[in-house]
Structure 1
Amino acid sequence: MKKKHQSEIPDASIDMTPMLDIVFIMLIFFIVTTSFVKEKGLMVNRPDDAQKSNKPSKNVNIKIDANGMIFMNGRQVDLARVEANIQLFLAENNTDTALVQAHKDTAHGTVVEVLDQASKAGLTKLSVIAEKE
């Protein structure tokens, strides 16, 4: 009788359990040590395309030039008088929208102060446009 020579090669297998344990421990470490910070800033509400309407509306137009001079509806206004002029405009026109057009070299503080004055005057929809040049 002739015996067939059979070589049995044991199946090579790698135990993955220790590697998975290490991966999960690292995942838990990174989740626990991560700090979540809520950044502060201005809230910007962008209009949806569906909200566009074709009817013209009267807005408070405020323009700020590079030197910080403020113009409302074509006439120069002092920063302290912006709120009063907006209230005068609102007495004559029924609107809740202001359009602030600022020059690119205008100080941001001036723009924020104008927006604050407009908000105090009762306007709820404020838009800011920055000129390209």
Structure 2
Amino acid sequence: MKKKPVTLMDQESNIDMTSMLDIVFILLIFFIVTTSFTKERGLDINRPVASSISGGANLTIHIQQDGSIRMDNRLIELERVVANMQLLLSENNTNSLSVFAHPKAKHGVVMAVMNNAKLAEIERISVLIAKNT
């Protein structure tokens, strides 16, 4: 019998992928185990729905660039904000506050006014950037 010559096409080359798949699965397990899922801390913001915004009267506070606070066109000190808010709340039937802050006002003053509003039991607080103050 005559044998046929062996060519390169007749030989099949197989690559064993088992060890590479093992390494991939080990790396996958390593990254899953070492990943840490933490919830970042921050401020909780309750955004109002368009239908819940009322056109009623609310308290307004203006914070100037130098940190001065104005309520009802009068200059007040930060320590007296709670007392003034409680007085205006008793006169007006509202529980909302609008804080108009200058773009260059310090955030500490704005946060202090917001904390004082919470102490005065104001439920809704809006912080706005004033264009012309």
The answer, yes or no, to whether TM exceeds 0.5 is: yes
Q: Which runs of 4+ in 1 moved over 6 A?
A: none
Structure 1: segments with no counterpart, 5+ residues: none
| Counterpart secondary structure, 1:43 | coil
Structure 2: segments with no counterpart, 5+ residues: none
Deviation (angstroms), 1:129: 1.2
Answering whether residue 24 of structure 2 is matched by residue 23 of structure 1, we say: yes
Sequence identity of aligned pairs in percent?
48
Answering whether residue 71 of structure 2 is matched by residue 48 of structure 1, we say: no
Matched residue type, 2:109: T
Answering whether residue 123 of structure 2 is matched by residue 124 of structure 1, we say: yes
Q: 1:18 to 1:73 in 2, by over 3 A?
A: farther
CA RMSD of aligned residues (A): 2.4
Q: How many angstroms apart in 1 are the aligned matches of 2:15 and 2:94?
A: 73
Q: 1:20 to 1:82 in 2, by over 3 A?
A: same
| Counterpart secondary structure, 1:91 | helix
Q: How many angstroms apart in 1 are the aligned matches of 2:77 and 2:70?
A: 9
Aligned ranges for residues 75-86 of structure 1 at < 5 Å? 75-86=74-85
| Counterpart secondary structure, 2:62 | strand
Partner of 1:90: 89
Give aligned pairs, total. Answer: 130
TM-score (norm 1): 0.81
TM-score (norm 2): 0.81
